[in-house]
């Protein structure tokens, strides 16, 4: 909710204000300028600008009449065949208002549509192409059936880099009169993992506490495992002291309130800086992946992390 409010407040109105997707934005802008866009498929991770770019396309095409010519559906909530047959088809069959000869239907999270609904959508896209264009947004294009993909121009989005996140943060900090320390900016980027929406949420949470945002404040909000604490755990394990590694791990998880998956991610980041042989790092990376899989499947996180620490101890002992 917070990210939606902030995104609306600072929503870009021109294509050149979308950060981190330069090639995609240029191509979509050229298509929009021709006033005859094809069906579009935006694929990529969450929080990288797919929905924002779709809304920019609509506003550029229809200007003041954009609300009357635009239908947005979230396929994760409404993903059955009846939605395609009723809502989508009823909207698609009517003529647009204004100079543009078609309407726009935006299906967010289209990869959540059932196979039956996707088959119905395929026919609707074909039958009403003269009066309607579809923009589909998904995280995984492989979950969209091939007949729909072949009807769309596919654009792939990537996770935002640090410089792109910095642009967003700078714009918001100037508008809200915030002071952000460089080390806090680095931590916000690490916490967001290239997701602009998550970055805005972190910034909103910290700004509600203080307008001066520093490393400790951000660390408190995102509740990630601190790299230095995880490094201490791993150093104990590699040196063969399983008991101290276990106690430090438990203390870190309880004190900072971090989940098992967060600890796994932190271990994965720190693993390659350990003073051990590359072959051992590869084996430990495999063990880390196994532990993460078991946690996701529902195993007890602390038991799996202890098992992982045991692997680090054995590796340190050369066993």
Q: What is the mean pLDDT of residues 85-106?
A: 82
| pLDDT tens-digit series, residues 158-188 | 988 888 888 888 888 888 888 888 888 888 8
pLDDT tens-place string over residues 267-313: 888 888 888 888 888 888 999 999 999 998 888 888 999 999 999 88
Average pLDDT value over all residues in the chain:
84
pLDDT, mean of residues 224-230: 74
**Residue with the larger pLDDT of the pair 69 and 227:** 69
pLDDT at 4 exceeding the cut of 70: no
CB 124 within 8 Å of CB 84: yes
Q: Does the structure show a pLDDT above 70 at 12?
A: no
Into which CATH architecture does domain 227-316 fall?
Up-down Bundle (1.20)
Task: Give pLDDT, residue 63.
Answer: 84
Encode pLDDT of 181-193 as tens digits.
Answer: 888 888 888 888 8
Q: Which CATH number fits domain 162-222: 1.10.10.10, 1.10.8.60, 3.90.79.10, 1.20.120.160?
A: 1.10.8.60
Copy the structure tokens of residue 41.
């498929």
Query: Would you kindly state where each structural domain of the chain is located, as residue ranges?
Result: 21-156, 162-222, 227-316
Look-up of token digits 């979308």: 18
Per-residue pLDDT tens over the stretch 191-211: 888 888 888 888 888 888 888
Confidence (pTM):
0.74
Class in CATH terms, 21-156: alpha beta
Q: What average pLDDT does the segment 121-136 reach? A: 87
- Taking CA atoms, 159 is separated from 19, 204, 254, 313, in Å, by 11, 20, 31, 35
Residue 5, pLDDT above cutoff 60 = no
HEC states along 270-300?
HHCCCCCCHHHHHHHHHHHHHHHHHHHCCCC
């Amino acid at each position: 909710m917070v990210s939606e409010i902030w995104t609306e407040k600072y929503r870009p109105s021109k294509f050149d204000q979308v950060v981190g997707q330069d090639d995609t934005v240029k191509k979509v802008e050229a298509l929009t300028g021709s006033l005859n866009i094809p069906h579009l498929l935006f694929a990529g991770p969450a929080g990288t600008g797919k929905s924002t770019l779709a809304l920019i396309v609509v506003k550029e095409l229809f200007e003041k009449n954009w609300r009357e010519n635009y239908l947005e559906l979230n396929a994760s909530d409404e993903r059955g065949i009846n939605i395609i047959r009723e809502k989508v088809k009823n909207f698609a069959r009517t003529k647009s208002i204004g100079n543009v000869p078609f309407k726009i239907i935006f299906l967010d999270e289209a990869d959540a549509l059932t196979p039956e609904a996707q088959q119905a959508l395929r026919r609707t896209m074909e039958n009403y192409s003269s009066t309607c264009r579809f923009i589909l947004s998904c995280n995984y294009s492989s979950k969209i059936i091939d007949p729909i993909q072949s009807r769309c121009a596919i654009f792939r989005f990537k996770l935002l880099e640090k410089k792109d996140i910095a642009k967003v943060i700078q714009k918001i900090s100037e508008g809200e009169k915030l002071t952000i320390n460089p080390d806090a900016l680095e931590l916000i980027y690490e916490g967001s993992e290239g997701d602009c929406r998550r970055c805005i949420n972190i910034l909103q949470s910290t700004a509600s506490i203080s307008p001066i945002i520093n490393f400790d404040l951000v660390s408190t909000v995102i509740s990630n495992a601190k790299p230095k604490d995880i490094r201490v755990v791993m150093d104990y394990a590699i040196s063969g002291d399983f008991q101290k590694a276990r106690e430090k791990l438990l203390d870190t998880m309880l004190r900072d309130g971090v989940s098992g998956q967060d600890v796994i991610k932190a271990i994965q980041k720190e693993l390659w800086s350990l003073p051990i042989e590359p072959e051992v790092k590869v084996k430990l990376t495999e063990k880390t992946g196994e532990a993460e899989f078991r946690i996701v499947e529902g195993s007890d996180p602390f038991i799996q992390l202890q098992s992982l620490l045991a692997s680090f101890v054995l590796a340190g002992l050369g066993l």
